[in-house]
Amino acid sequence: MALSDIENKIKQDTNIEAENIISEAKSQAMQIIKEAEARAEKERDEILFSGKKEAEDLKRAFITPFKLESKKKILEEKRKILDLIFEGKSKDLKEKKEIEVAKVLFS
């Protein structure tokens, strides 16, 4: 085997080895990218879920006092109406009718 044949064989083997190394590196890089994308998607989903939950909690915390205040005002107005209706009536009649009205309103 001539020296040039040996050089060509070494170059050929070197090129094949380099191609194998490059191919393996590309494969590993693709795997790393896939894993990173999966982790990023999982973290994104967790952040979105956490953000939505926090937004709902804030919304509930903001709205609840207004709902309670609204219900309180409605009850106050009902009380005023009942007071007007029973104004001048005997205490026994007033208590009896209030019980009947309460049963209707709260049943």
Average pLDDT over residues 65-72: 93
Percent helix, strand and coil across the chain, each rounded to 5? 95, 0, 5
The pLDDT score that the predictor gives to residue 59 is: 92
Sorted by sequence, the CB contacts under 8 Å of residue 30 that are 6+ apart come out as: none
> For the chain, what is the mean pLDDT?
90
Q: Which residue has the higher pLDDT, 72 or 105?
A: 72
- How confident is the model over 80-100, as a mean pLDDT? 79
pLDDT (mean) for 87-97? 78
Residue 82 and residue 101 in contact, taking contact as beta carbons nearer than 8 Å: yes
Q: For the segment 14-45, what is each residue's pLDDT rounded down to a tens digit?
A: 999 999 999 999 999 999 999 999 999 999 99
